[in-house]
């Protein structure tokens, strides 16, 4: 008989319970069957593993040796099985992806691509305006990945121990009513908007400070600033009550136009974050690659912006944008 892991589990159960009868109950076996199995194990190993009397079963010297090895091998095998299960996303076992997003322009396309490539995957999303909340949830194991943005050269907080990778860098644009006097321009100087009222979505990042600093460099202090959700921002701009800053891949809305700010005074870096010691880290590169492709997909409704990216390679996807153009842009 060849010794197997199940035999080692029998030896450990007898040692831990101190009795063949109790071990049989723990393992869900009949006591005579377990006794017979122990005898076969002892014949295979060449000697008795336990001294048995009315007080129970105590390991012999050979039994102690087997137990020492078993207590290393069994947890190691359990660890191997757990890790194999986590890495089995390419097989039949479903994988789990839990995303948190802050006004992300690619979340929908990212989910769409993962769902198409891995139909059995369990994909969930969580929305929050707070980058810190998302980072805490990833660090605490309640989310796998966070999609967020930061302005300029800043980075998300390092307090939560996450790994962050850039997906893309875009110039921030301005959202105007199509009847606005500056709407017929390809780009607008920030100083030309000094008399406007502004509206922005909430958040706990540094963008407000970056915007105020950019306005100061342009020689003015922004007038009244409304705060609203995305739908509210669109409504206020559409009503002519305010203008808004927006991402370069903001989806076209009837009656509104997006225009570049001359000189790109504000930049938005789209970031993907995960915890380096989490199971999600094992497939993070795959998720990052899918995020890059989702960003490429998001350029499809914006041919003019894609042409601009080709002339301004320091912006856009964090790999050469020429590769995007050569491949062609596909919608998800």
Judge whether 327 lies within some domain: no
Instruction: Please report where in the chains the tokens 């100061």 appear, as a residue.
Output: 216
Question: What does the alpha-carbon distance between residue 232 and residue 237 come to, in Å, rounded to a whole number?
Answer: 9
- Residue numbers of the domain that contains 126: 94-319
Residues 132 and 47 in one domain: no
Question: What does the alpha-carbon distance between residue 328 and residue 332 come to, in Å, rounded to a whole number?
Answer: 13
Task: Answer with the one of 42, 60, 88 that is the final residue of a domain.
Answer: 88
Give the confidence band of 44 by pLDDT, cuts at 50, 70, 90: very high
pTM for this predicted structure: 0.66
Residues 284 and 300 in one domain: yes
β-strands 145-151, 96-101 pairing: parallel
Residues 113 and 214 in one domain: yes
**CA atoms within 13 Å, Cβ hemisphere of 96:** 10
Task: Name the DSSP letter for residue 50.
Answer: E
pLDDT of res. 130: 85
Judge whether 99 lies within some domain: yes
Residues 78 and 103 in one domain: no
Question: What does the alpha-carbon distance between residue 201 and residue 188 come to, in Å, rounded to a whole number?
Answer: 21
CATH of the domain at 33: 1.10.10.10
Whether the Cβ atoms of residue 14 and residue 50 lie closer than 8 Å to each other: yes
What are the CA-CA distances from residue 109 to residues 38, 104, 300, 324 (Å)? 58, 10, 12, 16
pLDDT of res. 275: 93
The two tokens of residue 115 are 């769902």
pLDDT of res. 115: 94
Judge whether 324 lies within some domain: no
SS3 for 235? helix
Residues 130 and 270 in one domain: yes
Judge whether 329 lies within some domain: no
Task: Answer with the one of 65, 88, 111 that is the final residue of a domain.
Answer: 88
Domain count, the chain: 2
Question: What does the alpha-carbon distance between residue 152 and residue 318 come to, in Å, rounded to a whole number?
Answer: 15
Average pLDDT of the chain to the nearest whole number: 87
Q: What is the pLDDT of residues 76-101, one digit of tens each?
A: 888 787 666 555 433 443 488 999 99
Residues 174 and 263 in one domain: yes
Judge whether 331 lies within some domain: no
Residues 33 and 157 in one domain: no
Whether the Cβ atoms of residue 218 and residue 194 lie closer than 8 Å to each other: yes
Task: Name the DSSP letter for residue 250.
Answer: P
Residues 138 and 240 in one domain: yes
Question: What does the alpha-carbon distance between residue 269 and residue 151 come to, in Å, rounded to a whole number?
Answer: 6
The two tokens of residue 41 are 């194990």
CATH of the domain at 168: 3.40.190.290
Judge whether 179 lies within some domain: yes
Judge whether 332 lies within some domain: no
Residues 187 and 313 in one domain: yes
**CA atoms within 13 Å, Cβ hemisphere of 205:** 27
Q: What is the pLDDT of residues 205-216, one digit of tens each?
A: 556 788 989 999
Judge whether 198 lies within some domain: yes
Question: What does the alpha-carbon distance between residue 262 and residue 210 come to, in Å, rounded to a whole number?
Answer: 16
């Amino acid at each position: 008989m060849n010794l197997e892991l199940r035999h080692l589990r029998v030896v450990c159960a007898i040692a831990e319970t101190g009795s063949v009868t109790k071990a049989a109950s723990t393992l869900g076996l009949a006591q005579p069957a377990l006794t017979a199995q122990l005898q076969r194990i002892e014949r295979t190993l060449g000697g008795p593993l336990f001294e048995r009397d009315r007080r129970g079963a105590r390991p012999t010297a050979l039994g102690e040796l087997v137990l020492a090895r078993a207590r290393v091998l069994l947890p190691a095998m359990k660890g191997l099985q757990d890790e194999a299960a986590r890495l089995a996303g390419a097989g039949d076992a479903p994988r789990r992806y839990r995303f948190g997003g802050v006004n992300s322009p690619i979340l929908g396309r990212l989910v769409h691509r993962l769902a198409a490539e891995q139909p059995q995957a369990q994909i969930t999303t969580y929305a929050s305006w707070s980058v810190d909340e998302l980072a805490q949830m990833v660090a605490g194991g309640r989310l796998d990945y966070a999609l967020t943005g930061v302005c300029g050269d800043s980075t998300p907080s390092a307090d939560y121990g996450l790994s962050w990778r850039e997906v893309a860098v875009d110039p921030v644009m301005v959202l105007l009513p199509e009847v606005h006097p500056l709407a017929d321009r390809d780009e607008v100087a920030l100083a030309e908007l000094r008399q406007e009222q502004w509206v922005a979505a909430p958040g706990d990042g540094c963008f407000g400070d970056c915007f105020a600093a950019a306005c100061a460099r342009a020689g003015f202090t922004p007038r009244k600033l409304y705060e609203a959700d995305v739908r509210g921002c669109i409504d206020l701009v559409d009503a002519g009550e305010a203008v808004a800053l927006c991402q370069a891949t903001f989806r076209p809305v009837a009656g509104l136009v997006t225009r570049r700010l001359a000189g790109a005074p504000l930049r938005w870096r789209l970031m993907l974050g995960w915890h380096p010691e989490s199971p999600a880290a094992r497939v993070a590169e795959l998720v990052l690659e899918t995020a890059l492709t989702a960003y490429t997909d998001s350029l499809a409704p914006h041919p003019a912006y894609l042409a601009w990216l080709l002339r301004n390679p320091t912006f856009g996807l964090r790999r050469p944008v020429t590769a995007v153009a050569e491949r062609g842009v596909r919608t998800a």
